[in-house]
Amino acid sequence: MKNLKNFDKMHAIGCACCGGVQGVGPSTAGTSFSRRGVLRGAMAGMAAGVLSGLALGASRRAWADDGMMSPEAALQALVEGNERFVAKKFTFLEQDLNILKQNTVAKQEPFAAVLSCADSRVPVELAFDQSIGHVFVARVAGNIATGENIASLEYGAAVLGTKVIMVLGHSNCGAVKATIDGKPVPGQISSLYAHIRPAVDAAGSDLEAAIKANARIQANLLATASPVLAGLIKEKKLRVVAGYYNLADGKVSVLG
């Protein structure tokens, strides 16, 4: 990310110097440069670069962390990113996608993982104001901890170094609602029910309560059923939490 910051500064200086700074530009072709104008443009560019770097906040700091971020800091980065998302003050759009892609071609170093529902209304990276390479995402209807998803999240934590895993339920989840209703459904959809049934048994027909219970149950399953994840938690290298995404306002509540 040091290269990205340098690029930001160079880009800002270049724009200031070429965009009509006093004594510089097409109108002064063939005349001597105004050193005061160039200096003023350079200083303005440097200031813009610094402010741009600060505006990227937790997302940029997380990317530059080189694996030293604590689980608590990783969770805080997600929380702060969601606050920016709710406030419509995104920072991920400010990052140069070409440079981000170059940084992630050979490897990925996400600081967080999210087990999310497959619902198209839950845009995980957007909801946490994160960009390419920041979040390792596993998605399945009902955000359930199946063997395949557990394996994926183990890989994210043990190999890629994610510091926090969030199981993210969301309001009006169709998979949980279908489990509550218990009606016949086509194909393999009913195979989801067995995983969600414990939450319905605990919360009853209250949809929101069942969704939150399901997120907590799946998070607990990840934390206890996987020796890999349990070991990292014991070593304080990983946290597993449950979250609830409100479709109405985009707010993510950390459930524990």
pLDDT of residue 60: 43
Q: Where are the domains of the chain?
A: 2-54, 69-254
Pick the residue with more confidence: 86 or 38? 86
pLDDT at residue 104, rounded to an integer = 74
Global pTM reads 0.70
Q: What value does the mean pLDDT of the chain take?
A: 79
Which run of H or of E encompasses 239? strand 239-245
Burial, 138: exposed, middle or buried (Cβ in 10 Å; 0-12, 13-18, 19+)? buried
pLDDT value at 132 more than 60: yes
Element (H, E) at 164: strand 164-170
Cα dihedral angle (31, 35, 38, 43), rounded to 10 degrees? -170
pLDDT in tens, 23-71: 333 333 443 334 444 334 444 444 444 333 334 444 444 444 556 789 9
Q: Indicate if the pLDDT at residue 9 is higher than 50.
A: no
Q: 69-254 belongs to which CATH class?
A: alpha beta
Q: What tens digit of pLDDT does each residue of 206-255 get?
A: 999 999 999 999 999 999 999 999 999 999 999 999 999 999 999 999 99
Say which residues have a Cβ less than 8 Å from residue 18's Cβ, sequence separation at least 6: 24, 25
